[in-house]
Amino acid sequence: MTVQTLRHKKDVPFDEEIALLDIRKTLLLIRRYFREGLDAGGEQDPATRQSIQWLIRYMETNYYDPLDLTLLAKRVHFNPSYLVRAFKNEAGVTPMHYLNKLRLSAAVSYLANTEMGIQQIAESTGFNSLHYFSRLFKQKFGCSPSQWREELNRGRAGAK
């Protein structure tokens, strides 16, 4: 049996496995992208840089948890406003912007590789509000999550 055959059988555990692999791949690509920015980063002291790098890894492995700026700042023992400045200096974006990118990347993978509902995907990727998830998704991709999935499925059907 080929991977394509298995995918078309809609074997949910297999689809979720593929989604998780896609998420891991995406996280590695995002990490590499930001690592290049970190390596060429500003004039921050090594301890701050190390804290930000640790926080990035923490966010990559816990993006689905209910994280906010206050909690992230506590994780690295920074004042929230200092964290925003230091993180932006290192990664080029704010911590919440980075977290939302991680969550949206994971959501795209779930949309493409599972039959999970939009609400379940929003919850599984750390969004506590379906409205907020849909609004961010539309800002980034120009359409709602369900429209994105429909377009993907139409493309797949046309490729058969």
- Domains belonging to the chain, first-starting first, are 3-128 (1.10.10.60)
* pLDDT, position 6: 41
For residue 37, count other CB atoms closer than 10 A to its CB.
Answer: 14
* pLDDT, position 7: 46
pLDDT digits (tens, 9 = 90+) for 128-148: 999 999 999 999 999 999 999
Q: What pTM, to 2 d.p., does this model score?
A: 0.74
Q: By percentage, how much of the chain surpasses pLDDT 90?
A: 67
Q: Which of 2-11, 113-122, 137-146 has the lowest mean pLDDT?
A: 2-11
